Amino acid sequence: MNINNINIDEIILNALREDIGTGDITTIATIPADKSARGKYTAKEAGIICGLEVCGRVFKILDENIEFKTSKKDGDKVEKGEVFAEVSGNARNLLTGERTSINILQRMSGIATLTANFAAQIAGTKAKISDTRKTTPGLRVLEKYAVKTGGGINHRFNLADGILIKDNHITAAGGIKQAVASARANAPHTLKIEVECENLASVREALQAGADIIMLDNMGVKDMREAVNIISGNAIIEASGNMGDLNAQDLLAVAETGVDIISMSTITASAKSLDISLKFVLD
Amino acid sequence: MNINNINIDEIILNALREDIGTGDITTIATIPADKSARGKYTAKEAGIICGLEVCGRVFKILDENIEFKTSKKDGDKVEKGEVFAEVSGNARNLLTGERTSINILQRMSGIATLTANFAAQIAGTKAKISDTRKTTPGLRVLEKYAVKTGGGINHRFNLADGILIKDNHITAAGGIKQAVASARANAPHTLKIEVECENLASVREALQAGADIIMLDNMGVKDMREAVNIISGNAIIEASGNMGDLNAQDLLAVAETGVDIISMSTITASAKSLDISLKFVLD
Amino acid sequence: MNINNINIDEIILNALREDIGTGDITTIATIPADKSARGKYTAKEAGIICGLEVCGRVFKILDENIEFKTSKKDGDKVEKGEVFAEVSGNARNLLTGERTSINILQRMSGIATLTANFAAQIAGTKAKISDTRKTTPGLRVLEKYAVKTGGGINHRFNLADGILIKDNHITAAGGIKQAVASARANAPHTLKIEVECENLASVREALQAGADIIMLDNMGVKDMREAVNIISGNAIIEASGNMGDLNAQDLLAVAETGVDIISMSTITASAKSLDISLKFVLD
Amino acid sequence: MNINNINIDEIILNALREDIGTGDITTIATIPADKSARGKYTAKEAGIICGLEVCGRVFKILDENIEFKTSKKDGDKVEKGEVFAEVSGNARNLLTGERTSINILQRMSGIATLTANFAAQIAGTKAKISDTRKTTPGLRVLEKYAVKTGGGINHRFNLADGILIKDNHITAAGGIKQAVASARANAPHTLKIEVECENLASVREALQAGADIIMLDNMGVKDMREAVNIISGNAIIEASGNMGDLNAQDLLAVAETGVDIISMSTITASAKSLDISLKFVLD
Amino acid sequence: MNINNINIDEIILNALREDIGTGDITTIATIPADKSARGKYTAKEAGIICGLEVCGRVFKILDENIEFKTSKKDGDKVEKGEVFAEVSGNARNLLTGERTSINILQRMSGIATLTANFAAQIAGTKAKISDTRKTTPGLRVLEKYAVKTGGGINHRFNLADGILIKDNHITAAGGIKQAVASARANAPHTLKIEVECENLASVREALQAGADIIMLDNMGVKDMREAVNIISGNAIIEASGNMGDLNAQDLLAVAETGVDIISMSTITASAKSLDISLKFVLD
Amino acid sequence: MNINNINIDEIILNALREDIGTGDITTIATIPADKSARGKYTAKEAGIICGLEVCGRVFKILDENIEFKTSKKDGDKVEKGEVFAEVSGNARNLLTGERTSINILQRMSGIATLTANFAAQIAGTKAKISDTRKTTPGLRVLEKYAVKTGGGINHRFNLADGILIKDNHITAAGGIKQAVASARANAPHTLKIEVECENLASVREALQAGADIIMLDNMGVKDMREAVNIISGNAIIEASGNMGDLNAQDLLAVAETGVDIISMSTITASAKSLDISLKFVLD
């Protein structure tokens, strides 16, 4: 597995409970208990498939005798109309698990696909598309996995696995220099220190304070280029601020300034579900 | 409250735990423990605000001494640039709860806004926009609340609070007539029976079987109009099938056929987050 | 399965934890760890057996190698002295799971048996015995399943899967007409609207307001008969109010008025456990 | 409090979630959000009231601003028609919590009342009525509290807080002597050792082995009297086996043999709910 | 199993979640997903091994295909350098579970080893080493199991499975006599009553009140010997109070006074982890 | 607060449930329900106090009316015999929460004290004492907080907030160079990359690969000094491997080699509880 059961089983169980409520009454009322069935997953539009392992786990948790098979792996491209997976077993349980499995698959694939689209726009530069913490509450681990599957990279998973000093931290600490020093003194040494900078003066200050990563927040392309010069390889550079709203040309211009990372909430906060259908045949 | 703590506290707690991880190290390292702060929520684009009560509850759960105030209520319109809420209290906890509060608010407001947009397109007809079960795993109760806040109506919350007979149920039961009879005999009498129909023959069969709700699935406008005539007030009529992809004119044409409900997954599955910012001032 | 693991595993796990506490010390102290055993379930009185699948699941959760076998299925009659199931496996775990398995089986079978008794009293009429929400806290899904197994039907599972307008709702809304209209406007269209009526005037008002179900609450048989005439097939009719306290003749009289449903809390709130024993033989 | 929040909050929360589901739609649809109300609890039959503190906690968990007041305390007698408690606050939340509060109160009071009835039958003897582990799964701590409130005493709460050697343990250990010795060697010294005896020979053997408590299982009154003589104060004596099915005279005869404890599952497994109503007045 | 899955799975799952966080990124980044591996557990110092079953369960919960094999059983001695168990399966999951499995094994073995050391010091006397409730929060059931594995006995597992009357209870009740009487009247009859005594006068009072166990708290050896005489077999005698700080000779002197139990928090509160390593070979 | 409720409430609730079981029967049996009391915490030995906020939270969760006051703050020194905190409120709840509050306080203070002792031994050098992941399962966040309180620094909290490449990762990746490259390509850029090195050749290789942190694992002081020269400020240097077993002189020698961090599991895995008493006076 690329994604650990320990991290996803609780999410899946919550999702199943939410969707099943006190029982799938339509199915119980109309489908015999011993009926079996087979279903095929079809992509209704082209995209990057993501969540196959999670999808298989949904059915395993609901009914350990259901079998989920796929010829694809997370990150593969699917074409419109392509059948990419099959599921078979007890008909009632298949129908009961249908919506949960599709909701997860559509959402993860939607994020992977959108991420891949942005990544393609800056192909050839050294920049990478990164996510943010603007993810759906409760689904972050799945959504960040989808970003990586789509060719992006992951920023912090939570407030504990990265230091990101923003304006309020700087104000409270009395300046960038002091904030970076406090962070270095108080936070685990295993974490890099990132400073959010809104202008070139701040960039210089952060660099001098020894920041490991410098975020260029809402800067113009010209300033970004200058910042790259100033930093000159002495810190990782992250461009940020409505990056997901840029058109392809403008995004490429940002990438071509020489920044290392372009982070955007768009890939998780505004991704459309990839259209996927699951059709059953009762045996 | 319009939404019960019993239904939302677990979601909020999960979201906070997910975002905080083992602790907000940047904040702990740079902000004194006894510092207080105030923050203002500003809409960065116009829309329907939704999730204010939930947002207040986020901070209450994190720190019972934080105060959340707003002049708006869920469903109100906010303009671009409008400050619509304030939060004040311990600076560390405010910064730690910031992202969770915004993620929830943005997502709920995004759904309410998109729902309101679709509702506006069919204003003047008797049709209502309805959601589906294609919601974000784990957040359904919040997302359906947002749909209602935006002027839509709610379809089933889960598989237990509505009977929706689809093709597989019909096949297994041996026909629409038998499926409806099985449902009537086996499911709670408090629930209406809905049948998914793909053509006029099925509509007639469902009507005769005594269906309470008839879903016109992926029918053309002409067939829908004919179905409305056939049904003639003897069942609630729901139009369904990629309704969210129609342009305003085509959607209005559907509404004008006389259907009661137009259901679409778009309002929950493809809503963009409403852009909202939270800026703090340290005291 | 007729009852989904997603809905029962948590109940079973709680019950096992409650009964085992920090460990079954008597068994650990006196039974060798590798001993195996077999046990037989015997009905100590005649009744309707219910909870066999749940019972099997109790042992599966405690120890996946324990085997539970039965020649019966939920809803079958058992005679006094009849052996209806066997369980075999590790002796310690069998003894440790004994009480939980029996408590659940006795309670569910007690409810199914009592429901079947009431159902037999009104056999030949079109009326059905229905449960209420007066169930044991935490066990509703099991108890309602037992009611259905005993030949009854299920009323609402919770406050979300049915609309039941009572006196307080009517008062607050300003009358039956307004209350029904509010419910129709605000609640999911998939749910029927039931109105609790204490006299014939209310029945007429509810009917006119378009209620889908009319509850005749604590009415005499004569009034019920009149209500059936008034309603004349235009709503489902539910008789309610101490129905479980009626003797067989009086209950039949209610059923013969032509009501569709007779709901009573007695079948869940006052059911006696069916006496069942489990005797082990150590191998 | 006589019963600790740590032990009951989880039970209450589960019960509320079970009853509320995804929301109390009738109430939300018909009662204004800011309406307040007051309710009175009335006993519809005489009995011992139990669960008042738990009942107050139900509303506290649902809505911390609801106020619950009572002039009684657990264990007090209530007469038919007596108003024994009041609750006031937000009307929606009062209506939403109504059923859960009543279900718990009725069940606990039913058990306390039945226990008190049995206790009264043996008043004047030294014997006490004791419960067993045949309680409702998930509610044991509440039900055993009700037994004590009704004047009974508590047997083991779970398999960890008492040693009860039954036939299977005796067989596996190779006799009563060996079983008691094993228990003494392996189990915590803080627990008494009880041995289930079906005849006088076993009683003598258990006594000699040093049992602290001897259970006379399904013995006749004559044998019980003889057992009391044999034991002669050297062990606590518990009479057991369908004791709840005895008529008042026969139960008294058992008590008069000189046994210390009469244990019966009837008081928990077969108690009828005490009939209690809650009527609201909207402000 | 000597220790029930119902009691340990939650502890293990919590421990795994705590250690894995949002994912083992080093392993995911550097180890191919389909790599397999084998690992050997080696004792780096001599001691009593404990936790083997728990350790196997850690991997079973993380990945049901991992195989854990051992030639030892809990309580066996391991020598410095001895390989006592092997684990094999998916390399990523083995590396991810490594730390949790070792932390548990080291802690349990450390406690078993320290307990065995103390037990050896009083070998030949009738006294036994007992634990207390001074255990690591959340791990009590594992730590008490380790104490028993090391040759000690278990005192109360929690406040519900034993009655221990201390000074505050005595003061509130108005004396030892009254406190014992209250306990006898109000607590389950399955539990022995223990009284903490600080001097011989209290010992006599407790004995007369009918205490089942008398704790000699912080008494000198001479007083203990006198107390043993006074009690003369009419109660179990427990010596307590910094017993873990005594040197071997002084501890033996306590044991030789004739006390039955020497309880000490040292064996759980101050045990050093037994040094154990787990080395993997990638296949 | 220095430690967030979101992170500790679950730990505290588990600990209270573990210790209270089904109820504190001794206290309920002997202490009147309305009795109040006050208690004083006294250090029975000198040390660094830690866990005061957590301790206050224990009582808040058990009974929100209990008041916990202290003149100290976490990290302060307490002398033998010093009273450092008081608690007052309902006597039953105070007695019931006593053990949990002390167990947590003793464990955290024990770790803080031991950490401070080691830190004192290397005072004057630039080296810091760091913890490891060898913590008590379930208590890591508390134990790492105690390490920091004692003057140490925190290494990774879990496998997700730091990259630590060990021998197996190196082997699987095909060498240090490749492992570091894989980590850089696949893991979040917010994390530093640490490489475990057992000899100077590895140190050189890791340095060349661009490791951010180099762990000198089980090296002699001479090699460490040479490693410091080689690294020459281009990476953080961590000395590791039985550091907690060194005597003061040898530990100082390690620190004086110029390493930045000395990590040791001893401070968490082998800390003795700090002896603390809580004595109550009933009002």
Residues in chain A: 283
What stretches of chain B show up as alpha helix (H) in DSSP?
5-20, 25-30, 52-62, 91-121, 140-149, 167-173, 176-186, 200-209, 221-231, 248-255, 266-269
d(CA D237, CA D259): 5
Residue E166 annotated to the active site: yes
- What token pair was written down for E192? 């022995």
Mean pLDDT of E251-262: 98
Nearest residue to D68 (alpha-carbon basis) of D97, D45, D29:
D97
Please give the single-letter amino acid code of residue B72.
K
- What token pair was written down for C281? 């033989």
Q: Scanning the structure block, which residue is given the tokens 């530069």?
A: A125
Q: How many other β-carbons are positioned within 10 Å of the β-carbon of residue D251?
A: 22
D57-94 burial code (b ≥16 CB/10 A, e <16): bbbbbbbeebebebebebbbebeeebebbebbbbbbbb
Of these residues, D17, D166, D272, D279, which one is catalytic?
Answer: D166
Cα dihedral D21/D24/D29/D32 (nearest 10) = -140
Q: Where in chain E is the domain with CATH 3.90.1170.20?
A: 6-118+271-281
Instruction: Decide if E155 contacts D188 (C-beta within 8 A).
Output: yes
Q: How many other β-carbons are positioned within 10 Å of the β-carbon of residue D236?
A: 18
Distance of CA F89 to the CA centre of its chain: 31
pLDDT of residue C119: 98
Residue D134 annotated to the active site: yes
Q: Is the dihedral of CA A8, A14, A20, A22 positive or negative?
A: positive
Q: Scanning the structure block, which residue is given the tokens 């508590």?
A: D154
- What token pair was written down for C115? 């429901």
Average pLDDT value for chain A? 95
Percentages of chain B per state (helix, strand, coil), in multiples of 5: 45, 20, 35
Instruction: Decide if C213 contacts B189 (C-beta within 8 A).
Output: yes
Domain range C162-264, CATH class: alpha beta
CA separation (Å) from C93 to C19, C36, C58, E2, E7?
A: 13, 9, 11, 10, 13
Instruction: Dump pLDDT digits (tens) for B67-101.
Output: 999 999 999 999 999 999 999 999 999 999 999 99
Cβ within 8 Å, pair C172-D35: yes
Largest CA distance in chain C: 72
Cβ within 8 Å, pair E1-C33: yes
Q: Would you call C163 an interface residue with chain B, using a CB distance cutoff of 8 Å?
A: yes
Angle (CA) E211 E212 E215, round 5°? 80
d(CA B216, CA B204): 12
Continuous segment of H or E residues that includes residue F193: strand F193-197
Which of F17, F18, F22 is the best substitution to test chain D (most D C-beta atoms within 10 A)? Answer: F22
Instruction: Name chain B's partners: 3 or more CB pairs within 8 A.
Output: A, C, D, E, F
pLDDT tier, D268 (very low <50, low <70, confident <90, very high otherwise): very high
Which of C18, C184, C196, C279 is the best substitution to test chain D (most D C-beta atoms within 10 A)? Answer: C18
Residue D99 annotated to the active site: yes
d(CA A241, CA A230): 20
pLDDT tier, F198 (very low <50, low <70, confident <90, very high otherwise): very high
Q: Where in chain E is the domain with CATH 3.20.20.70?
A: 162-264
- Radius of gyration (C-alpha) of chain C in whole angstroms: 23
Residues ≥6 apart with Cβ < 8 Å to D15 = C137, C138, D58, D100, D103, D104
Q: Are strands B276-282 and B36-43 parallel, antiparallel or unpaired?
A: antiparallel
d(CA A91, CA A27): 9
pLDDT of residue A4: 86
Distance of CA B226 to the CA centre of its chain: 30
Q: Residue D23: pLDDT above 60?
A: yes
pLDDT averages per 10-residue partition of chain C, 283 residues: 84 96 94 93 98 96 96 97 97 95 96 98 97 94 97 96 94 93 92 97 97 97 98 97 96 98 95 93 85
Bigger pLDDT: A244 vs A282: A244
Cβ within 8 Å, pair A189-F189: no
pLDDT of residue D282: 84
d(CA E157, CA C17): 15
Of B29, B95, B173, Cβ closest to residue A187: B29
Cβ within 8 Å, pair E159-F107: no
Of these residues, B99, B128, B133, B177, which one is catalytic?
Answer: B99
Residue C127, helix vs strand vs coil: coil
Cβ within 8 Å, pair D190-E191: yes
Instruction: Dump pLDDT digits (tens) for E27-67.
Output: 999 999 999 999 999 999 999 999 999 999 999 999 999 99
Mean pLDDT of A19-34: 94
Which of D157, D189, D212, D261 is the best substitution to test chain E (most E C-beta atoms within 10 A)? Answer: D189
Q: Are strands C193-197 and C163-165 parallel, antiparallel or unpaired?
A: parallel
Residues in chain B: 283
- What token pair was written down for B268? 């929950």
Q: Would you call B164 an interface residue with chain A, using a CB distance cutoff of 8 Å?
A: yes
Cβ within 8 Å, pair E154-D192: no
Rounded to two decimals, the ipTM of the complex is: 0.93
Q: Are strands D83-90 and D67-70 parallel, antiparallel or unpaired?
A: antiparallel
Q: Are strands E47-48 and B276-282 parallel, antiparallel or unpaired?
A: unpaired
Mean pLDDT of F127-146: 96
Instruction: Decide if D273 contacts D107 (C-beta within 8 A).
Output: yes
Residues of C labelled as active-site residues: 99, 134, 166, 196, 217
d(CA E73, CA D226): 48
Please give the single-letter amino acid code of residue A147.
V
Q: How many other β-carbons are positioned within 10 Å of the β-carbon of residue E120?
A: 13
Residues from chain F that touch D141, judged by Cβ atoms under 8 A, are 22-23
| B276-282, strands of its sheet edge to edge | B67-70, B83-90, B36-43, B276-282
Residues ≥6 apart with Cβ < 8 Å to D190 = E155, E156, E161, E162, E163, E164, E191, E192, E194, E213
Cβ within 8 Å, pair C22-F22: no
Instruction: Decide if D158 contacts C103 (C-beta within 8 A).
Output: no
Q: Which CATH superfamily is domain C6-118+271-281 in?
A: Quinolinate phosphoribosyl transferase, N-terminal domain (3.90.1170.20)
Q: Residue E195: pLDDT above 70?
A: yes
Cα dihedral D164/D168/D171/D172 (nearest 10) = -90
Instruction: Dump pLDDT digits (tens) for B222-279.
Output: 999 999 999 999 999 999 999 999 999 999 999 999 999 999 999 999 899 999 999 9
Mean pLDDT of A196-209: 97
Mean pLDDT of E167-184: 93
Residue D241, helix vs strand vs coil: coil
Instruction: Decide if B64 contacts B102 (C-beta within 8 A).
Output: no
pLDDT tier, B148 (very low <50, low <70, confident <90, very high otherwise): very high
Average pLDDT value for chain F? 95
Angle (CA) C40 C43 C44, round 5°? 120
For residue C274, the 8-state DSSP code is P
Q: Residue D235: pLDDT above 70?
A: yes
Instruction: Dump pLDDT digits (tens) for E113-155.
Output: 999 999 999 999 999 999 999 999 999 999 999 999 999 999 9
Instruction: Dump pLDDT digits (tens) for F148-171.
Output: 999 999 999 999 999 999 998 998
Nearest residue to D141 (alpha-carbon basis) of D108, D113, D163, D115:
D108
Distance of CA A87 to the CA centre of its chain: 26
Instruction: Decide if F271 contacts E110 (C-beta within 8 A).
Output: no
Instruction: Decide if D203 contacts D230 (C-beta within 8 A).
Output: yes
d(CA E144, CA E115): 11
Count chain D–chain E contacts defined by CB atoms under 8 A: 67
Q: Residue D186: pLDDT above 70?
A: yes
User: What are the residues facing E275 on neighbouring strands?
Assistant: none
Shortest alpha-carbon distance between residue A53 and chain E (Å) = 13
Shortest alpha-carbon distance between residue C137 and chain F (Å) = 18
Of these residues, A134, A177, A184, A192, which one is catalytic?
Answer: A134
Backbone angles phi, psi at E101, to 5 degrees: -65, -40
pLDDT of residue F1: 53
Q: Would you call C22 an interface residue with chain F, using a CB distance cutoff of 8 Å?
A: yes
d(CA A185, CA E191): 54
